[in-house]
Protein backbone atom coordinates (compact mmCIF):
# COMPACT_ATOMS: atom_id res chain seq x y z
CA UNK A 1 0.00 0.00 0.00
CA UNK A 2 1.39 3.39 -1.01
CA UNK A 3 1.83 6.02 1.69
CA UNK A 4 3.06 9.61 1.43
CA UNK A 5 4.59 12.21 3.73
CA UNK A 6 3.68 15.87 4.09
CA UNK A 7 6.23 18.40 5.37
CA UNK A 8 6.48 22.16 5.77
CA UNK A 9 8.90 23.77 3.33
CA UNK A 10 10.34 26.39 5.68
CA UNK A 11 12.10 29.42 4.22
CA UNK A 12 10.69 28.92 0.72
CA UNK A 13 8.19 31.35 -0.79
CA UNK A 14 7.25 29.50 -3.97
CA UNK A 15 7.70 26.32 -6.00
CA UNK A 16 10.20 28.26 -8.11
CA UNK A 17 12.26 29.03 -4.98
CA UNK A 18 12.25 25.34 -4.03
CA UNK A 19 13.36 24.32 -7.54
CA UNK A 20 16.17 26.91 -7.47
CA UNK A 21 17.33 25.58 -4.09
CA UNK A 22 17.33 21.99 -5.38
CA UNK A 23 19.22 22.97 -8.54
CA UNK A 24 21.81 24.93 -6.53
CA UNK A 25 22.34 22.05 -4.09
CA UNK A 26 22.80 19.47 -6.85
CA UNK A 27 25.23 21.71 -8.75
CA UNK A 28 27.20 22.32 -5.55
CA UNK A 29 27.46 18.58 -4.84
CA UNK A 30 28.60 17.92 -8.40
CA UNK A 31 31.31 20.62 -8.16
CA UNK A 32 32.57 19.14 -4.87
CA UNK A 33 32.64 15.62 -6.29
CA UNK A 34 30.21 14.15 -3.75
CA UNK A 35 27.19 11.96 -4.42
CA UNK A 36 24.75 14.03 -6.48
CA UNK A 37 21.42 13.27 -4.81
CA UNK A 38 18.70 15.43 -3.37
CA UNK A 39 17.56 14.57 0.12
CA UNK A 40 15.81 16.00 3.13
CA UNK A 41 17.22 15.23 6.58
CA UNK A 42 14.84 14.55 9.46
CA UNK A 43 15.32 13.58 13.07
CA UNK A 44 12.95 10.62 13.02
CA UNK A 45 13.08 7.57 10.77
CA UNK A 46 9.62 6.79 9.33
CA UNK A 47 8.35 3.52 10.81
CA UNK A 48 6.30 2.85 7.68
CA UNK A 49 9.26 3.13 5.28
CA UNK A 50 8.21 0.11 3.18
CA UNK A 51 4.91 1.82 2.33
CA UNK A 52 6.70 5.09 1.51
CA UNK A 53 9.11 3.27 -0.81
CA UNK A 54 6.21 1.60 -2.64
CA UNK A 55 5.69 4.70 -4.82
CA UNK A 56 5.13 7.34 -2.13
CA UNK A 57 5.91 11.04 -2.37
CA UNK A 58 6.89 13.88 -0.08
CA UNK A 59 4.28 16.63 -0.38
CA UNK A 60 5.64 20.10 0.39
CA UNK A 61 3.57 22.74 2.21
CA UNK A 62 4.65 26.14 0.92
CA UNK A 63 3.09 29.24 2.48
CA UNK A 64 0.21 27.31 4.02
CA UNK A 65 -0.69 25.13 1.01
CA UNK A 66 0.49 21.81 -0.33
CA UNK A 67 1.73 22.91 -3.76
CA UNK A 68 4.16 20.30 -5.01
CA UNK A 69 5.47 16.79 -4.43
CA UNK A 70 8.58 14.71 -5.03
CA UNK A 71 8.89 10.93 -5.30
CA UNK A 72 10.63 9.25 -2.38
CA UNK A 73 13.46 7.07 -3.69
CA UNK A 74 15.20 5.87 -0.54
CA UNK A 75 15.23 6.16 3.25
CA UNK A 76 18.74 6.31 4.77
CA UNK A 77 18.99 6.26 8.57
CA UNK A 78 22.33 7.49 9.95
CA UNK A 79 23.96 8.86 13.09
CA UNK A 80 25.36 12.40 12.90
CA UNK A 81 28.77 13.39 14.37
CA UNK A 82 27.06 14.39 17.66
CA UNK A 83 25.69 10.84 18.01
CA UNK A 84 22.10 11.80 17.19
CA UNK A 85 20.03 9.42 15.04
CA UNK A 86 18.76 11.05 11.87
CA UNK A 87 17.30 10.05 8.54
CA UNK A 88 17.88 11.18 4.96
CA UNK A 89 14.83 10.93 2.76
CA UNK A 90 16.28 10.69 -0.76
CA UNK A 91 14.01 12.41 -3.26
CA UNK A 92 13.71 12.53 -7.02
CA UNK A 93 14.77 16.14 -7.80
CA UNK A 94 11.81 16.63 -10.18
CA UNK A 95 8.97 18.65 -8.67
CA UNK A 96 5.41 17.65 -9.56
CA UNK A 97 2.93 20.53 -9.08
CA UNK A 98 -0.31 19.60 -7.32
CA UNK A 99 -3.69 21.15 -6.80
CA UNK A 100 -3.25 23.47 -3.83
CA UNK A 101 -4.52 22.08 -0.53
CA UNK A 102 -4.49 24.27 2.61
CA UNK A 103 -2.51 22.99 5.62
CA UNK A 104 -1.99 24.47 9.06
CA UNK A 105 1.50 24.66 10.50
CA UNK A 106 2.85 21.57 12.29
CA UNK A 107 6.22 20.25 13.39
CA UNK A 108 8.08 17.42 11.70
CA UNK A 109 6.28 15.43 9.04
CA UNK A 110 2.97 13.64 8.84
CA UNK A 111 1.82 10.58 6.96
CA UNK A 112 -0.59 11.32 4.11
CA UNK A 113 -2.78 8.62 2.61
CA UNK A 114 -3.28 8.43 -1.14
CA UNK A 115 -7.00 9.23 -0.77
CA UNK A 116 -6.21 12.45 1.16
CA UNK A 117 -3.39 13.64 -1.13
CA UNK A 118 -4.09 16.45 -3.60
CA UNK A 119 -4.19 15.56 -7.29
CA UNK A 120 -1.35 16.45 -9.62
CA UNK A 121 -1.87 19.41 -11.92
CA UNK A 122 -2.28 18.26 -15.51
CA UNK A 123 -1.54 19.79 -18.90
CA UNK A 124 -5.05 21.28 -18.76
CA UNK A 125 -4.00 23.24 -15.68
CA UNK A 126 -1.05 24.92 -17.43
CA UNK A 127 -2.71 28.33 -17.05
CA UNK A 128 -2.38 28.07 -13.27
CA UNK A 129 1.31 27.25 -13.58
CA UNK A 130 1.84 30.26 -15.86
CA UNK A 131 0.60 32.68 -13.19
CA UNK A 132 3.26 34.52 -11.18
CA UNK A 133 3.81 32.98 -7.70
CA UNK A 134 2.48 36.09 -5.93
CA UNK A 135 -0.79 35.96 -7.88
CA UNK A 136 -1.19 32.22 -7.22
CA UNK A 137 -0.70 32.90 -3.50
CA UNK A 138 -3.29 35.72 -3.50
CA UNK A 139 -5.81 33.53 -5.36
CA UNK A 140 -5.18 30.69 -2.88
CA UNK A 141 -5.69 33.08 0.06
CA UNK A 142 -9.05 34.01 -1.46
CA UNK A 143 -9.94 30.32 -1.83
CA UNK A 144 -9.90 30.48 -5.61
CA UNK A 145 -7.07 27.98 -6.14
The predicted pLDDT at position 126 comes to: 60
Check: CB of residue 137 under 8 Å from CB of residue 78. Answer: no
Print the domain residue range for 136.
Answer: 3-141
Residue 121: predicted pLDDT: 84
**Integer angstrom CA distances of residue 87 from 57, 101, 111, 137:** 16, 27, 16, 31
Query: Which parts of the chain sit beneath pLDDT 50?
Result: none
Q: What predicted TM-score, i.e. pTM, was given to this entire model?
A: 0.86
How many structural domains is the chain composed of? 1
| Ramachandran angles phi, psi of 2, nearest 5° | -75, 140
Amino acid sequence: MILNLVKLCVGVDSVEDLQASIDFGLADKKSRGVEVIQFHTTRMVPKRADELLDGGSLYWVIKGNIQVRQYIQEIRPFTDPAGISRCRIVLEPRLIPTVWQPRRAFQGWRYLSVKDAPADLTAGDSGILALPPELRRELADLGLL
